[in-house]
Amino acid sequence: MDANKRQRYEKISIELTRLVGGRENIQGVAHCATRLRIVLNDNDLADLKAIENVDLAKGVFVAGDQVQIIFGAGLVNDVYEVFAEYNNMKNMSLSDLKTVANKKMNPLQRIIKALSDVFVDIMPGILAAALLTGLSGVLGNLEFVQANDTLYGINRLINIASGAIFGFLPLAVAYSACKRFGGRPILGIVIGCVMLSDSLANAYQAAQGTVEVTTLHIFGLGVDLVGFQGGIIVALLMGFVTAKLDIVFEKKVPEVIRLLLSPLLTTLVGSLLLFTIIGPVGRGLSSGITNALVWMTQNLGVFGYAIFSALQQLVVITGLHHIFGAIEAQLLADTGRNFLNPLMSVAIIAQGGAVLGYLVRHRKDVKTRELCIPSFISVLFGITEPALFGINLRYRFPIIGGCIGGALGGMVVYFTNLAAVGFGTTVLPGIALTDPAGNGYINYIIAHGVAIAGGFLMTLVLGKFMDKTQEEVPAVETKIETTEKEIQEETIKVPEKEVFFGYADGQMIAMEDVKDDTFANKVLGDGIAIIPNSGKVYAPIDGTIISIFDTKHAICFASKYGTEILIHIGVDTVNLQGKYFTTYVKDGDVVKKGQLLIEFDKEQVEKEGYDTVIPMIFTDLPEEKRLEKLTPNSVTAETNTVLVHSHIGN
């Protein structure tokens, strides 16, 4: 990571730590593909509205008792690295964070989260199978493919590959579920093999009555020797049961025979439970889910479709949407068609239409463009979190417009009998999964066009009555000092001019003259810098210490009027890890102008090869304010040399 980026991420880390309630409120931190995930002791201490405006953040929400901040793929890795280092939590893994977060979840949340984790692990295989199925369907309808031996052969191989993955999906689910619930994954694979054993009658053939089914009698129970092809719910249950059996037997079986006896008992007991209890229960549950969904389409008609596609993205907000993967897999196994996929797809693109509607209303705002455009691009590939949490839910009326657009798209899905032959991908990539029967591809495009247009237009209409983003900002609320030990909150008006005094002895230079691109280009903000004569840094104004880096080379400080500055000692001195630095204040301390904050051994730092220039940066300076330097080049901390932070035109 280059110095410019690191400095920017350090600023983000300082601000985020303050906005989530300080280091003492952070239990753990990790990241996934797009989000920084933070578990807090008290979520109420986090200022979610302010976090939305943090540099590079595309949105924030709370899910599963995690504060999740969307930064985007790639970027989140770098932000996490600096944020975790700043908060001394760099060695925490995502699984560690899940453990911490799970302690705060209710039973229903834990179940939903577990289902999500199971399908996350095997989703690449599911996507591969789904896309191969769609590709095979497209190629199979082309005459020149059928007429060419080579193309026909390739298409046959594609069809075999996709069918094989779906055919062994219960095995993959059992493996992933066993792993997720703490068992040895290989035992999940073994149980999956039992479920699909050639010694059992094929489940599809048995349902059609084309194969003879053998029935055993165990403890007076009739056990049909039928396989579990398509038994996704059964596989989930068996993965859980196998994991728990493995854990129990690993604890109870004596160590001298554990290696031989423990897996034997897990497989034997698991197999008995599969055929006598888990299998029948799971089949009944699967049948109930499928029948309920089919009943909805047959009895509620267009209203059922419209309601589902209108509300589906609200389910995403709760995190309950992860269960749809299991339902879709079961629906495909039972009926061969998945009507939920296009319904979810039009619900997604409708929220993208709402983003475009909001963008049109605020097209002159640079921040809005930076947020809306990448969010919409994510929607095109089926990822709605940046759009939902960064824009639509944040401003309320776009989410309503998106839901209405989703309902309109759902109605088109109903009238065109649109369905998919797989699951796991939506919107642009999802067209490859479309059932081509009945002009499926054309209908897919029409449904999505109606949904995005509906979301766009309804957001524009609702925005005329509900858009409150241009409301006037209230007076600044901050803390002022009464005594050194007593602080009271008051609403105070920021003065026309705010004076910052010299903070070190030495020669003052312009920020552009600092020999570092990050500072010289004002990536972190505007300010001044001092080439120090000694290694002491003082408070430039009365205020409060927001945070001091663990490496002691930088301090974030706020004046009593809320103006934030960053005093950074040296260039790249973070690499010294605090060596040669001594702090005299701590986070939260209220300090007076001229009070000693940090002392460092200037000569030793320079011997290590580091520039000791000390920039003072105004990290959050509003556009209507400017910096005015009213000092000679040579300054001291005692001579009341000043830097003026003033309003323009006031």
Q: What is the model's pLDDT at position 293?
A: 60
- Would you put residue 88 in left (φ > 0), alpha (ψ -120 to 50) or beta? left
Structure tokens at 126: 């599911």
The pLDDT of 291-315, averaged and rounded, is 78
Active site residue 322: no
* Number of CB atoms found within 10 A of residue 646's CB: 14
Q: What is the largest CA-CA distance in the chain?
A: 99
| Average pLDDT value over all residues in the chain | 79
Residue located via tokens 């410019």: 4
Q: What is the model's pLDDT at position 491?
A: 43
Active site residue 321: no
Identified catalytic residue from 31, 32, 362, 556: 32
Indicate if the pLDDT at residue 82 is higher than 70: yes
Q: What's the DSSP call for residue 598?
A: E
- Percentage of the chain exceeding pLDDT 70: 78
Convert the pLDDT of each residue in 346-396 to its tens digit.
Answer: 999 999 999 999 999 988 877 778 778 877 887 887 777 667 766 887 778
Residue located via tokens 């068992």: 183
Q: What is the model's pLDDT at position 646?
A: 43
Q: Are 258 and 199 in contact (CB under 8 A)?
A: no
For residues 492-531, one letter each, b for 16 or more C-beta atoms within 10 angstroms of the residue's C-beta and e for the rest, the string is eebeeebbbbbbbbbebbebeebebebbbeebbbebbbbb
Identified catalytic residue from 31, 568, 645, 647: 568
Convert the pLDDT of each residue in 533-553 to its tens digit.
Answer: 889 999 988 888 877 877 888
Greatest mean pLDDT among 139-153, 320-334, 396-410, 574-588 lies in 396-410
Is residue 636 classed as helix, strand or coil in its secondary structure? coil
Q: What is the model's pLDDT at position 477?
A: 34
Cα–Cα distance measured from residue 514 to residue 177, given in angstroms and rounded to the nearest whole number: 56
The pLDDT of 561-585, averaged and rounded, is 85
Q: What is the model's pLDDT at position 355?
A: 92
Convert the pLDDT of each residue in 206-230 to its tens digit.
Answer: 766 778 888 888 888 888 898 888 7
257 burial level (CB within 10 Å; 0-12, 13-18, 19+): exposed
The residues that bridge with 554 in the sheet, in sequence order, are 568
| CA angle 487–489–493, rounded 5-degree value | 120
Strand order, beta sheet including 596-600:
536-538, 596-600, 581-583
Nearest to 558 by CA among 640, 479, 484: 479
- Percentage of the chain exceeding pLDDT 90: 22
The pLDDT of 328-333, averaged and rounded, is 76
